[in-house]
């Protein structure tokens, strides 16, 4: 299956929630207050979020008015432009040596995402090592071990309950000695004790800063697309704990609420770098804003 076919298939539920309703609404060709109210309902139902929806509606009103649009095609193009402006053009550029710290609550697919990222970078010709620094969750390192084997990359781990900073130290030292391009660090995802989580992430960052100051640093948050607006609050919490650079959005194929991409990008200022469109190791793809918008409208 080609890239665009995968995107199209993965966004089928979101297209049903947004695209079909938008097309039906735009066909009427009457762009009055009633039209904008109905479009607002469609966007909010797809988890675009109230704040971001207001922003979209305001910009769309301007474009349609300025261009005196009176047809479905013209209005659709205006909406695409507004949505495209929100998503921006940010792409993740690796300049090895790179250390990627991956954060997220338990259950969002963080560990599997790390395995898929390792696979993706390996296919790009980069050498990768993963660090099992989630020493809190039972069997976390064993699960990561399975994905590391699938991706054919090395893994550094210690016993359950070990100091996460020590795991990261070992991984960084190993990467430096072997000239590894990318280190991907798994982390604990507990939120019930926010203070402990923040201190742990700060300690991991200090270890990397001290032992590998020359490395490019990237902090990625994994979000589950099916959680809707909870994703926004999760991004706020983790951004406090660690300075986030971007988002990996998983399970996009399993939700009709893919509009959460716009909410996170607009409200948090965080670009979506990768999206998960299935359970296979190759089902994590770099986010393409144009393909995404074409896939939902």
pLDDT at 196 over 90: no
pLDDT at 189 over 90: no
Q: What is the mean predicted confidence (pLDDT) over 58-73?
A: 94
Quick one: which of 163, 179, 186 has its CA closest to 212? Answer: 179
Q: State the pLDDT at residue 297.
A: 84
User: What DSSP character marks residue 258?
Assistant: T
**pLDDT per position as a tens digit, 149-187:** 999 999 999 888 789 999 999 999 999 999 999 999 999
CA angle centred on 284, ends 44 and 173, rounded to 5°: 120
Residues 6+ apart with CB under 8 A from 62: none
Q: What is the mean predicted confidence (pLDDT) over 246-268?
A: 82
Going by pLDDT thresholds of 50, 70 and 90, the confidence category of residue 257 is low
The sheet with strand 284-286 has its strands ordered as 154-156, 128-132, 182-186, 98-103, 216-224, 246-250, 272-276, 284-286
Bond prior to 97 in cis (omega within 30° of 0) = yes
> Which of 4-8, 55-59, 258-262 shows the lowest per-residue confidence on average (mean pLDDT)?
4-8
**pLDDT per position as a tens digit, 10-29:** 677 777 778 888 989 999 88
For a pLDDT cut of 90, what percent of the chain falls above it? 55
pLDDT at 146 over 60: yes
Going by pLDDT thresholds of 50, 70 and 90, the confidence category of residue 256 is low
Q: State the pLDDT at residue 39.
A: 95
Element (H, E) at 248: strand 246-250
Contact present, 49 and 39 (Cβ < 8 Å):
no
């Amino acid at each position: 299956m080609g890239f665009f076919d995968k995107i199209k298939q993965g966004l089928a539920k979101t297209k049903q929630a947004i695209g079909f309703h938008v097309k039906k609404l735009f066909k009427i060709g009457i762009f009055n207050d009633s039209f904008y109210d109905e479009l607002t309902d469609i966007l909010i139902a797809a988890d675009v979020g109230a704040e971001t929806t207001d922003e979209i509606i305001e910009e769309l009103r301007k474009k349609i008015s300025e261009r005196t649009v009176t047809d479905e095609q013209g209005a659709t193009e205006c909406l695409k432009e507004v949505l495209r402006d929100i998503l921006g053009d940010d792409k993740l550029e690796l300049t090895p040596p790179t250390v990627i710290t991956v954060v997220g609550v338990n259950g969002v697919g963080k560990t599997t995402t790390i395995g898929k990222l390792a696979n993706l970078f390996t296919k790009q010709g980069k050498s990768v090592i993963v660090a099992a620094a989630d020493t809190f969750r039972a069997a976390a390192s064993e699960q990561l071990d399975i994905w590391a084997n699938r991706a054919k990359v090395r893994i550094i781990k210690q016993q359950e309950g070990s100091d996460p900073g020590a795991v990261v130290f070992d991984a960084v030292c190993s990467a430096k000695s072997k000239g590894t391009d990318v280190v991907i660090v798994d982390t604990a995802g507990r939120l019930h004790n926010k203070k402990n989580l923040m201190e742990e992430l700060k300690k991991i960052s200090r270890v990397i800063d001290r032992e590998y100051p020359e490395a490019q640093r990237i902090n990625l948050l994994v979000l589950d697309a099916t959680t809707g607006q909870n994703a926004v609050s999760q991004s706020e919490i983790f951004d406090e704990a660690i300075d986030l650079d971007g988002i990996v959005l998983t399970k996009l194929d399993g939700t009709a609420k893919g509009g959460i991409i716009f909410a996170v990008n607009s409200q948090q200022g965080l670009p979506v770098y990768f999206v998960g469109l299935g359970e296979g190791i190759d089902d994590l793809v770099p986010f393409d804003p144009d393909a995404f918008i074409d896939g939902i409208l």
